A and B are shown apart, each in its own frame.
Chain A
Amino acid sequence: MAKPVKKKPSNSRFVGTIVLVAVVGVAVLGYAVSRPRAGVKPVDPSLAAGTAEGYLVGNADAPVQVIEFGDFECPACGQWATLTEPDVRERLINTGLVSFRFYDFPLDMHKNTWPASNAVACAADQGKFLDMHDRVFATQDRWNGEATNNPKKVFLQLAAESGIDTAKWEDCFDTQQHYPRIKANLQEGVRRGIGQTPTFIIGTKMIPGNIPFDEFRKYVDAAAAEAAQAAKATPSKP
């Protein structure tokens, strides 16, 4: 015969356990809400922000405008840059459909990301943004915060491999002359509510994360359709 269900259980023990779980839960939530949030890297407050300016890749007047907020030391950004971005360039940017802008968004969890942004900015001065961008992302494991305290050595080597005038590059890198611009790009990301890297703004949509090409393409197609619709709706001048 089956056992009867109820032998009087202890209510006080039950209530005590509930109270204990509630106290622990409230304490954990309270701690999570009140602790200082890891945010963007604190930079010298006296450093004036420059003008936010992304690096343009492709035709500025392309029908679909894409912005990436990326961190050079972020592995997810590195994966996207090395695995997905080549397809994006070949099939969307080079065909004239997409105009792509990269904005620095250096996160405080990454020790060498500011020098990396600076290294790429100095290469961009010599017309080598894409080359250096690709090399820096592809070699994250050689210069990231876990690998070295002196990333400049690696960046200098990458700059030389890119065919950059290394003396000029070094002068630019050492004087940190692009830090105001990097800070401005970061502030632009904060203003737009960027919460992680990489984050893409494709047309009117913000898409966080290392998204695969097919998904990226889907958003681009939707933005292109929106742009076409908007162009139709705008009456043409006589």
Chain B
Amino acid sequence: MTRRMLVAVLALGGVFLAAYLTLYHYGYVGSLACGTGGCEKVQGSRWANFLGVPVALWGTGYYMSVFAVATAGSLGPWVERRWPSGALVFLNGWGVLFSAYLTWAEVARIHAICRYCVVSAGLVVVLFSLSLLDLRDYRRAPK
């Protein structure tokens, strides 16, 4: 499997993780709980929305974009093209920055850590690293 393919597979996992958090945000999953759980606190905080849209929904859109670009770049005519690598680095670069901002908010503002958010942040870092390696390989490859 190429690195792009791996990015596509991991991003698809991310789609489901973010979709779960979106459903949680809207109350379709999860349960009433004693607020010791970081996720309840994080999801209930004002940081759970960005520009009026739940952060989890932003995350779903982000993972879907990464999945679409990586899949398109892994199959058919775009396999040999370099632009999907550049697009993945761009998307995942934003993903890393946004995750860093959210992690800062959890630690410094909300004072709670949601384990799903930690998993997502780790996933984003892995996606970004794979995208960088993929771009490097395409740069080195003979034209």
Over the window 44-73 of chain B, the binary record of Cβ atoms lying under 8 Å from chain A Cβ atoms (1 yes, 0 no) is 110000000000000000000000000100
B19: interface (CB < 8 Å) = yes
Contact B44 A28 (CB under 8 A): no
Residue of chain A at shortest CB distance from B109: A215
* Residue count of chain B within 8 Å CB distance of chain A: 39
Q: In the complex, which residues of chain A have a beta carbon less than 8 angstroms from the beta carbon of B31?
A: 37-39
B5: interface (CB < 8 Å) = yes
Q: In the complex, which residues of chain B have a beta carbon less than 8 angstroms from the beta carbon of A18?
A: 8-9, 12, 71
Over the window 194-222 of chain A, the binary record of Cβ atoms lying under 8 Å from chain B Cβ atoms (1 yes, 0 no) is 11111100000001111010000000000
Q: Within A83-124, which residues are at the interface with B (CB < 8 Å)?
A: 107-110
A148: interface (CB < 8 Å) = no
Over the window 19-51 of chain A, the binary record of Cβ atoms lying under 8 Å from chain B Cβ atoms (1 yes, 0 no) is 001100110110011000111100000000000
Evaluate whether A21 and B35 lie within 8 angstroms (CB atoms) in the complex, with A14-B1, A32-B20 already known.
no
Contact A107 B32 (CB under 8 A): yes
B88: interface (CB < 8 Å) = no
Q: How far is the CB of B12 from chain A (nearest CB, A)?
A: 5
Interface residues on A, range: 35 or more
Q: Which of A11, A110, A212 has the most CB of B within 10 A?
A: A11
Contact B33 A196 (CB under 8 A): yes
Contact B140 A38 (CB under 8 A): no
Q: Which of A2-10, A55-63, A125-133, A164-172 contacts B (4 or more CB under 8 A)?
A: A2-10
Q: In the complex, which residues of chain B have a beta carbon less than 8 angstroms from the beta carbon of A75?
A: 34, 36
A136: interface (CB < 8 Å) = no
Q: Which of B21-29, B98-106, B121-129 contacts A (4 or more CB under 8 A)?
A: B21-29
B117: interface (CB < 8 Å) = no
Q: In the complex, which residues of chain B have a beta carbon less than 8 angstroms from the beta carbon of A188?
A: none
Contact B112 A209 (CB under 8 A): yes
Q: In the complex, which residues of chain A have a beta carbon less than 8 angstroms from the beta carbon of B20?
A: 28-29, 32
A150: interface (CB < 8 Å) = no
Q: How far is the CB of B14 from chain A (nearest CB, A)?
A: 10
Q: How far is the CB of B1 from chain A (nearest CB, A)?
A: 6
A77: interface (CB < 8 Å) = yes
Q: In the complex, which residues of chain A have a beta carbon less than 8 angstroms from the beta carbon of B141?
A: 2, 4-6
A107 to B34 CA separation, bound complex (whole angstroms): 8
Contact A11 B29 (CB under 8 A): no
A17: interface (CB < 8 Å) = yes
Contact B32 A33 (CB under 8 A): no
A21 to B97 CA separation, bound complex (whole angstroms): 26
B132: interface (CB < 8 Å) = no
Q: In the complex, which residues of chain A have a beta carbon less than 8 angstroms from the beta carbon of B137?
A: 5
Q: In the complex, which residues of chain B have a beta carbon less than 8 angstroms from the beta carbon of A71?
A: 34
Q: In the complex, which residues of chain A have a beta carbon less than 8 angstroms from the beta carbon of B23?
A: 29, 32-33
B75 touches which of A3, A11, A29, A197 (Cβ 8 Å): A11
A5 to B15 CA separation, bound complex (whole angstroms): 28
Q: Which of A26, A37, A110 has the most CB of B within 10 A?
A: A37
Q: List 23 A-B contacts (CB under 8 A).
A: A5-B137, A5-B138, A6-B2, A6-B79, A6-B80, A18-B9, A21-B9, A25-B16, A32-B29, A76-B34, A76-B35, A107-B32, A109-B34, A194-B32, A196-B37, A208-B35, A208-B40, A208-B41, A208-B44, A209-B35, A209-B40, A209-B112, A210-B36
A5-B138, A6-B80 known; 6 other A-B pairs, CB under 8 Å? A33-B29, A107-B32, A194-B32, A195-B40, A196-B37, A209-B112
7 closest A-B pairs by CB: A25-B16, A74-B34, A38-B31, A208-B44, A2-B140, A76-B35, A5-B141
